[in-house]
Amino acid sequence: METTKFKATFLGYGNVRLVDYHGTDASVVKAARVSYGKDIDDPEKDAKLIRYLLANKHTSPFEHVSFTFHIKCPIFVARQWMLEQGVSRELARTVLPVSLYTEFYGTVNLHNLLHFLELRLHDHAQPEIREYANQIHDKISYLFPSTFAAWKELRGIT
């Protein structure tokens, strides 16, 4: 399901493209309710459940949703990105010269994407990676309206 529908170009030659995704808000709800053996079809109850899960840090249901992005960014932005994935600074420095752009595919589940966005949308985040985080947020928040509404509400984001 390769698509350019979600492509955004910014920061010179950088871009973010959503290549594929798996799941919806309903996937989160089904994962949370599986132990009850019930499949309730009520969008209002689903939204309340998602808010409850986020508010109480019950994040495993969000790990059943995944995204694959094609990222093109300056090396120094990729370094910060890779640090989120557990690559040490020392290792990143040995393979990434800072004067070039790089491209990579990154796959992340919804739980970890929300964590990435929380860190990288913060006012203290480096402006360049904050722009990438804004682009990702803008491209996927409407795909998961209940999750992002609850996430924003719990963080006081308008």
Cα 5-10-135 angle, rounded to 5 deg: 55
5 band by pLDDT with thresholds 50, 70 and 90: very low
Q: Where are the domains of the chain?
A: 8-155
Active site residue 89: no
Bridging pattern class, strands 101-109 and 8-10: unpaired
Catalytic residue among 17, 120, 130, 155: 120
Question: Which is more confident, 156 or 66?
Answer: 66
The proportion of the chain whose per-residue pLDDT surpasses 70, expressed as a percent, equals 82
In three-state secondary structure terms, 104 is: strand
DSSP string, 47-63: HHHHHHHHHTT--GGGG
Mean pLDDT, residues 87-111: 72
pLDDT(147) > 90: yes
Q: Among the residues of the chain, which ranges form H helices?
A: 25-33, 43-55, 75-84, 89-95, 110-120, 127-140, 145-155
Residue 96: the pLDDT is 54
pLDDT over 80 at 23, yes or no: yes
pLDDT exceeds 60 at position 56: yes
**Fold for the domain defined by 8-155:** Gyrase A; domain 2 (3.30.1360)
Residue 2 has pLDDT above 60, yes or no: no
Residue-level pLDDT at 157: 77
Query: Considering the entire predicted model, what is its pTM?
Result: 0.75
Confidence of residue 51 (pLDDT cuts 50, 70, 90): very high
